[in-house]
Structure 1
Amino acid sequence: MTDFVEIERKFLVTRLPDLSQARRAEIAQGYLTRNSDSVQIRLRAEDARRILTVKSGWGMTRSEREIALTEAQFDTLWPATEGRRLEKERWTGPLPGGLRYELDIFHGALAPLQVVEVEFDSVPAADAFRPPDWFGREVTDDPRYGNRAMVTEGIPEES
Protein backbone atom coordinates (compact mmCIF):
# COMPACT_ATOMS: atom_id res chain seq x y z
CA MET A 1 0.00 0.00 0.00
CA THR A 2 1.22 3.49 -0.77
CA ASP A 3 0.05 6.54 1.14
CA PHE A 4 1.13 10.00 0.09
CA VAL A 5 0.16 13.47 -0.91
CA GLU A 6 -0.22 13.83 -4.65
CA ILE A 7 0.86 17.17 -6.11
CA GLU A 8 -0.27 17.29 -9.71
CA ARG A 9 -1.18 19.76 -12.47
CA LYS A 10 -3.52 18.84 -15.33
CA PHE A 11 -3.76 20.37 -18.81
CA LEU A 12 -5.68 19.87 -22.02
CA VAL A 13 -3.53 18.83 -24.99
CA THR A 14 -3.21 21.05 -28.06
CA ARG A 15 -1.31 18.47 -30.13
CA LEU A 16 0.29 15.11 -29.53
CA PRO A 17 4.02 15.19 -28.77
CA ASP A 18 6.64 12.78 -30.10
CA LEU A 19 5.76 9.56 -28.22
CA SER A 20 8.84 7.57 -29.27
CA GLN A 21 10.34 7.83 -25.75
CA ALA A 22 7.02 7.15 -23.97
CA ARG A 23 5.55 3.96 -22.52
CA ARG A 24 1.97 3.02 -23.46
CA ALA A 25 -0.57 1.34 -21.15
CA GLU A 26 -4.24 0.45 -21.57
CA ILE A 27 -6.41 1.50 -18.63
CA ALA A 28 -9.94 0.56 -17.62
CA GLN A 29 -11.13 2.58 -14.65
CA GLY A 30 -14.32 2.50 -12.61
CA TYR A 31 -15.57 4.44 -9.62
CA LEU A 32 -17.18 2.95 -6.52
CA THR A 33 -18.17 6.42 -5.28
CA ARG A 34 -20.39 9.05 -6.85
CA ASN A 35 -19.60 12.68 -7.71
CA SER A 36 -21.34 13.93 -4.56
CA ASP A 37 -19.12 11.81 -2.27
CA SER A 38 -16.27 13.69 -0.57
CA VAL A 39 -13.86 10.77 -1.02
CA GLN A 40 -13.11 9.13 -4.36
CA ILE A 41 -12.69 5.34 -4.49
CA ARG A 42 -11.48 4.03 -7.83
CA LEU A 43 -10.68 0.65 -9.35
CA ARG A 44 -8.08 0.55 -12.10
CA ALA A 45 -6.89 -2.20 -14.39
CA GLU A 46 -3.67 -1.02 -16.01
CA ASP A 47 -2.23 -3.71 -18.22
CA ALA A 48 -1.76 -6.63 -15.76
CA ARG A 49 -1.96 -4.53 -12.56
CA ARG A 50 -5.16 -4.16 -10.50
CA ILE A 51 -5.35 -1.25 -8.04
CA LEU A 52 -7.86 0.25 -5.61
CA THR A 53 -7.23 3.96 -5.01
CA VAL A 54 -8.74 6.25 -2.37
CA LYS A 55 -8.36 10.00 -2.99
CA SER A 56 -9.54 12.96 -0.95
CA GLY A 57 -9.26 16.66 -1.56
CA TRP A 58 -9.38 18.56 -4.83
CA GLY A 59 -7.11 20.61 -7.04
CA MET A 60 -3.34 20.46 -7.18
CA THR A 61 -2.71 18.79 -3.79
CA ARG A 62 -4.67 15.73 -2.68
CA SER A 63 -4.29 12.74 -0.40
CA GLU A 64 -3.96 9.43 -2.23
CA ARG A 65 -3.74 5.84 -1.01
CA GLU A 66 -3.31 2.83 -3.29
CA ILE A 67 -3.72 -0.87 -2.60
CA ALA A 68 -2.76 -3.62 -5.05
CA LEU A 69 -5.59 -6.08 -5.68
CA THR A 70 -5.62 -9.62 -6.95
CA GLU A 71 -7.53 -10.30 -10.15
CA ALA A 72 -10.25 -12.06 -8.09
CA GLN A 73 -10.62 -9.09 -5.71
CA PHE A 74 -10.83 -6.69 -8.64
CA ASP A 75 -13.40 -8.87 -10.43
CA THR A 76 -15.52 -9.01 -7.27
CA LEU A 77 -15.65 -5.19 -6.98
CA TRP A 78 -15.80 -4.25 -10.68
CA PRO A 79 -19.58 -4.80 -11.15
CA ALA A 80 -20.22 -2.07 -8.53
CA THR A 81 -18.72 0.50 -10.93
CA GLU A 82 -21.38 -0.05 -13.62
CA GLY A 83 -22.29 3.29 -15.20
CA ARG A 84 -19.14 4.99 -13.83
CA ARG A 85 -16.37 3.60 -16.05
CA LEU A 86 -13.90 4.89 -18.60
CA GLU A 87 -11.25 3.53 -20.92
CA LYS A 88 -8.10 5.31 -22.01
CA GLU A 89 -4.59 4.76 -23.18
CA ARG A 90 -1.87 6.38 -21.12
CA TRP A 91 1.46 7.46 -22.50
CA THR A 92 4.14 8.15 -19.86
CA GLY A 93 7.22 10.01 -21.01
CA PRO A 94 10.05 12.32 -20.00
CA LEU A 95 9.98 16.09 -19.62
CA PRO A 96 12.94 18.41 -19.00
CA GLY A 97 14.23 18.60 -15.44
CA GLY A 98 13.62 14.93 -14.67
CA LEU A 99 9.83 15.31 -14.70
CA ARG A 100 7.46 12.85 -16.37
CA TYR A 101 4.16 13.41 -18.11
CA GLU A 102 1.12 11.13 -18.18
CA LEU A 103 -0.84 11.74 -21.38
CA ASP A 104 -4.33 10.22 -21.39
CA ILE A 105 -6.15 9.62 -24.67
CA PHE A 106 -9.73 8.74 -23.83
CA HIS A 107 -11.85 6.18 -25.69
CA GLY A 108 -15.59 5.61 -25.89
CA ALA A 109 -17.91 8.36 -24.69
CA LEU A 110 -14.97 10.59 -23.63
CA ALA A 111 -13.20 10.47 -27.01
CA PRO A 112 -11.55 12.51 -28.45
CA LEU A 113 -10.51 14.16 -25.15
CA GLN A 114 -6.79 14.24 -24.39
CA VAL A 115 -5.33 15.49 -21.10
CA VAL A 116 -1.82 15.50 -19.68
CA GLU A 117 -0.79 15.47 -16.03
CA VAL A 118 2.54 16.12 -14.33
CA GLU A 119 3.29 15.13 -10.72
CA PHE A 120 5.68 17.11 -8.54
CA ASP A 121 7.67 16.61 -5.33
CA SER A 122 6.58 19.96 -3.87
CA VAL A 123 4.13 22.81 -4.33
CA PRO A 124 6.98 25.26 -5.18
CA ALA A 125 8.13 22.87 -7.94
CA ALA A 126 4.58 22.67 -9.28
CA ASP A 127 4.23 26.46 -9.18
CA ALA A 128 7.55 26.91 -11.02
CA PHE A 129 6.64 24.47 -13.83
CA ARG A 130 6.42 25.97 -17.31
CA PRO A 131 4.48 23.64 -19.60
CA PRO A 132 5.79 22.74 -23.05
CA ASP A 133 4.03 24.14 -26.10
CA TRP A 134 1.96 20.98 -26.71
CA PHE A 135 0.19 21.51 -23.38
CA GLY A 136 -3.01 23.53 -23.68
CA ARG A 137 -5.23 25.22 -21.12
CA GLU A 138 -4.69 24.22 -17.50
CA VAL A 139 -7.68 22.45 -15.91
CA THR A 140 -6.15 21.45 -12.55
CA ASP A 141 -8.73 23.39 -10.56
CA ASP A 142 -11.71 22.66 -12.80
CA PRO A 143 -13.67 19.80 -11.17
CA ARG A 144 -15.48 19.09 -14.45
CA TYR A 145 -12.22 17.57 -15.75
CA GLY A 146 -11.93 15.06 -12.94
CA ASN A 147 -12.26 11.55 -14.36
CA ARG A 148 -15.02 10.67 -11.89
CA ALA A 149 -17.05 13.71 -12.96
CA MET A 150 -16.53 13.04 -16.66
CA VAL A 151 -17.74 9.43 -16.51
CA THR A 152 -21.19 10.66 -15.53
CA GLU A 153 -21.30 14.22 -16.94
CA GLY A 154 -19.28 13.77 -20.14
CA ILE A 155 -16.65 16.06 -21.62
CA PRO A 156 -17.05 19.69 -20.50
CA GLU A 157 -18.50 21.69 -23.37
CA GLU A 158 -15.70 24.21 -23.93
CA SER A 159 -13.01 21.53 -24.47
Structure 2
Amino acid sequence: MTVEIERKYLVHNDQFKSLAHRSTRIVQGYLNSEKSRTVRVRIMGEQGFLTIKGISNQAGLSRFEWEKEISVQEAQDLLKLCEQGVIDKTRYLVEYQNQVFEVDEFYGDNQGLVVAELELESEQQAVTKPDWLGEEVTGDNRYYNSSLMKQPYSQWA
Protein backbone atom coordinates (compact mmCIF):
# COMPACT_ATOMS: atom_id res chain seq x y z
CA MET A 1 0.00 0.00 0.00
CA THR A 2 1.25 3.48 -0.82
CA VAL A 3 0.18 7.03 -0.07
CA GLU A 4 -0.91 8.99 -3.12
CA ILE A 5 -0.19 12.73 -2.90
CA GLU A 6 -1.53 14.84 -5.75
CA ARG A 7 -2.85 18.23 -6.79
CA LYS A 8 -5.68 18.59 -9.28
CA TYR A 9 -6.35 21.48 -11.68
CA LEU A 10 -8.83 22.43 -14.35
CA VAL A 11 -7.38 22.81 -17.85
CA HIS A 12 -8.59 25.81 -19.85
CA ASN A 13 -7.20 25.15 -23.36
CA ASP A 14 -5.83 22.42 -25.65
CA GLN A 15 -2.14 23.47 -25.62
CA PHE A 16 -1.27 20.39 -23.56
CA LYS A 17 -2.12 18.04 -26.46
CA SER A 18 0.80 19.19 -28.60
CA LEU A 19 3.13 18.77 -25.60
CA ALA A 20 1.95 15.26 -24.64
CA HIS A 21 4.46 12.45 -25.04
CA ARG A 22 1.81 9.73 -24.65
CA SER A 23 -1.95 9.30 -24.59
CA THR A 24 -4.03 6.30 -23.52
CA ARG A 25 -7.76 5.61 -23.56
CA ILE A 26 -9.16 4.64 -20.14
CA VAL A 27 -12.51 3.05 -19.29
CA GLN A 28 -13.29 2.50 -15.63
CA GLY A 29 -16.08 1.65 -13.25
CA TYR A 30 -16.52 1.29 -9.50
CA LEU A 31 -17.38 -1.80 -7.51
CA ASN A 32 -17.66 0.53 -4.49
CA SER A 33 -17.73 4.33 -4.57
CA GLU A 34 -18.16 5.20 -0.89
CA LYS A 35 -16.05 8.17 0.22
CA SER A 36 -14.28 6.10 2.88
CA ARG A 37 -13.00 3.62 0.26
CA THR A 38 -13.36 3.26 -3.47
CA VAL A 39 -12.79 0.05 -5.41
CA ARG A 40 -12.08 0.81 -9.05
CA VAL A 41 -11.82 -1.45 -12.09
CA ARG A 42 -9.90 0.07 -14.99
CA ILE A 43 -8.91 -0.86 -18.51
CA MET A 44 -6.02 1.34 -19.56
CA GLY A 45 -4.93 0.60 -23.09
CA GLU A 46 -4.04 -3.11 -23.10
CA GLN A 47 -3.88 -3.49 -19.29
CA GLY A 48 -6.41 -4.09 -16.54
CA PHE A 49 -6.21 -2.85 -12.95
CA LEU A 50 -8.03 -3.23 -9.66
CA THR A 51 -7.46 -0.27 -7.33
CA ILE A 52 -8.58 0.45 -3.79
CA LYS A 53 -8.30 4.00 -2.45
CA GLY A 54 -8.93 5.24 1.09
CA ILE A 55 -10.45 8.51 2.19
CA SER A 56 -8.50 11.71 1.47
CA ASN A 57 -6.91 13.72 4.24
CA GLN A 58 -8.54 17.01 5.27
CA ALA A 59 -6.72 19.03 2.59
CA GLY A 60 -7.68 16.50 -0.09
CA LEU A 61 -4.01 16.07 -1.04
CA SER A 62 -3.23 12.52 0.03
CA ARG A 63 -4.84 9.13 0.58
CA PHE A 64 -3.88 5.47 0.77
CA GLU A 65 -3.88 3.53 -2.49
CA TRP A 66 -3.47 -0.16 -3.35
CA GLU A 67 -3.35 -1.33 -6.97
CA LYS A 68 -2.93 -4.68 -8.68
CA GLU A 69 -2.64 -5.40 -12.38
CA ILE A 70 -5.22 -7.90 -13.65
CA SER A 71 -5.92 -9.22 -17.14
CA VAL A 72 -8.07 -7.17 -19.52
CA GLN A 73 -10.54 -10.06 -19.58
CA GLU A 74 -10.81 -9.99 -15.77
CA ALA A 75 -11.31 -6.22 -15.88
CA GLN A 76 -14.03 -6.57 -18.55
CA ASP A 77 -15.78 -9.19 -16.42
CA LEU A 78 -15.57 -7.01 -13.29
CA LEU A 79 -16.88 -3.95 -15.16
CA LYS A 80 -20.14 -5.87 -15.62
CA LEU A 81 -20.51 -5.95 -11.80
CA CYS A 82 -19.77 -2.26 -11.26
CA GLU A 83 -22.15 0.41 -10.05
CA GLN A 84 -24.06 2.24 -12.76
CA GLY A 85 -22.02 4.79 -14.70
CA VAL A 86 -18.73 4.43 -16.52
CA ILE A 87 -15.85 6.89 -16.81
CA ASP A 88 -14.47 7.15 -20.34
CA LYS A 89 -11.48 9.41 -20.97
CA THR A 90 -8.14 9.85 -22.67
CA ARG A 91 -5.15 10.44 -20.42
CA TYR A 92 -2.31 12.54 -21.81
CA LEU A 93 1.11 12.56 -20.13
CA VAL A 94 2.68 16.00 -20.35
CA GLU A 95 6.12 16.83 -19.01
CA TYR A 96 6.66 20.41 -17.86
CA GLN A 97 9.76 21.59 -16.01
CA ASN A 98 10.63 18.13 -14.62
CA GLN A 99 7.02 17.46 -13.60
CA VAL A 100 4.67 15.00 -15.31
CA PHE A 101 1.05 16.11 -15.50
CA GLU A 102 -1.65 13.50 -16.18
CA VAL A 103 -4.30 15.35 -18.18
CA ASP A 104 -7.68 13.62 -18.50
CA GLU A 105 -10.07 14.61 -21.28
CA PHE A 106 -13.49 13.15 -20.51
CA TYR A 107 -16.15 11.80 -22.87
CA GLY A 108 -19.80 10.80 -22.61
CA ASP A 109 -21.71 12.48 -19.79
CA ASN A 110 -18.49 14.22 -18.68
CA GLN A 111 -17.70 15.66 -22.14
CA GLY A 112 -16.15 19.12 -21.89
CA LEU A 113 -14.32 18.45 -18.64
CA VAL A 114 -10.51 18.41 -18.76
CA VAL A 115 -8.58 17.94 -15.51
CA ALA A 116 -4.84 17.71 -14.82
CA GLU A 117 -3.31 15.85 -11.88
CA LEU A 118 0.23 16.06 -10.61
CA GLU A 119 1.57 13.41 -8.23
CA LEU A 120 3.92 14.82 -5.61
CA GLU A 121 6.65 13.50 -3.34
CA SER A 122 5.29 15.52 -0.39
CA GLU A 123 2.36 17.81 0.37
CA GLN A 124 4.79 20.75 0.59
CA GLN A 125 6.37 20.18 -2.84
CA ALA A 126 6.26 23.31 -5.03
CA VAL A 127 4.33 23.13 -8.31
CA THR A 128 5.32 25.06 -11.41
CA LYS A 129 2.15 25.65 -13.41
CA PRO A 130 2.11 25.74 -17.22
CA ASP A 131 -0.05 28.38 -18.97
CA TRP A 132 -2.75 25.86 -19.88
CA LEU A 133 -3.53 25.06 -16.23
CA GLY A 134 -6.43 26.85 -14.62
CA GLU A 135 -8.05 26.82 -11.19
CA GLU A 136 -6.85 24.32 -8.59
CA VAL A 137 -9.62 21.91 -7.55
CA THR A 138 -7.63 19.68 -5.17
CA GLY A 139 -9.95 18.37 -2.48
CA ASP A 140 -13.14 19.26 -4.40
CA ASN A 141 -14.95 15.92 -4.35
CA ARG A 142 -17.00 16.78 -7.45
CA TYR A 143 -13.87 16.19 -9.57
CA TYR A 144 -13.15 12.69 -8.22
CA ASN A 145 -13.87 10.10 -10.90
CA SER A 146 -16.07 8.20 -8.43
CA SER A 147 -18.19 11.36 -8.05
CA LEU A 148 -18.25 12.08 -11.80
CA MET A 149 -19.67 8.60 -12.29
CA LYS A 150 -22.65 9.44 -10.04
CA GLN A 151 -23.02 13.14 -10.84
CA PRO A 152 -21.60 13.71 -14.34
CA TYR A 153 -20.23 17.07 -15.40
CA SER A 154 -23.07 17.52 -17.92
CA GLN A 155 -25.58 17.58 -15.02
CA TRP A 156 -23.86 20.33 -13.05
CA ALA A 157 -25.77 23.60 -12.78
Aligned to 1:24: 23
1:123 partner SS: coil
Aligned to 1:50: 48
Query: Aligned partner of 1:61: which letter?
Result: S
Listed one character per residue, the Cα deviations across residues 59-118 of structure 1 (whole Å, up to 9, x for unaligned) are 11111110010233223311111513110001001011x210011000111001100111
Deviates more, 1:83-92 or 1:16-25: 16-25
Q: Distance in 1 between matches of 2:76 and 2:23?
A: 23
Q: Distance in 1 between matches of 2:121 and 2:35?
A: 27
Q: Are 2:30 and 2:146, in contact at CA under 8 Å, matched by a contact in 1?
A: yes
Listed one character per residue, the Cα deviations across residues 101-136 of structure 1 (whole Å, up to 9, x for unaligned) are 0110001110011001111111121xx213222111
Aligned to 2:3: 5
Q: Distance in 1 between matches of 2:42 and 2:16?
A: 26
Specify whether residues 117 and 69 from structure 1 end up closer, same or farther in structure 2 by C-alpha distance, changes over 3 A only.
same
1:80 partner SS: coil
Query: Aligned partner of 2:10: which letter?
Result: L
User: TM-score, normalised to structure 1's length?
Assistant: 0.88
Q: Distance in 2 between matches of 1:8 and 1:111?
A: 23
Instruction: Count the aligned residue pairs.
Output: 152
**Percent same amino acid among aligned pairs?**
34
Q: Distance in 2 between matches of 1:31 and 1:50?
A: 13
Q: What is the deviation of 1:141?
A: 1.1
How do 1:116-131 and structure 2 match up within 5 A? 116-125=116-125, 128-131=126-129
1:81 partner SS: coil
Query: Aligned partner of 1:30: which letter?
Result: G
Q: What is the deviation of 1:48?
A: 0.2
Deviates more, 1:17-26 or 1:87-96: 17-26
Matched, 1:153 2:155: no
Q: Distance in 1 between matches of 2:113 and 2:41?
A: 21
Q: What is the deviation of 1:21?
A: 4.1
Aligned to 1:81: 82
Structure 2 gap ranges (5+): none
Aligned to 2:102: 102
Q: Are 1:84 and 1:148, in contact at CA under 8 Å, matched by a contact in 2?
A: no
User: TM-score, normalised to structure 2's length?
Assistant: 0.89
Deviates more, 1:106-115 or 1:71-80: 71-80
Q: Are 2:104 and 2:115, in contact at CA under 8 Å, matched by a contact in 1?
A: yes
Listed one character per residue, the Cα deviations across residues 25-84 of structure 1 (whole Å, up to 9, x for unaligned) are 0000101113x4510100110000100000012211111110010233223311111513
Structure 1 gap ranges (5+): none
Query: Aligned partner of 1:89: which letter?
Result: T
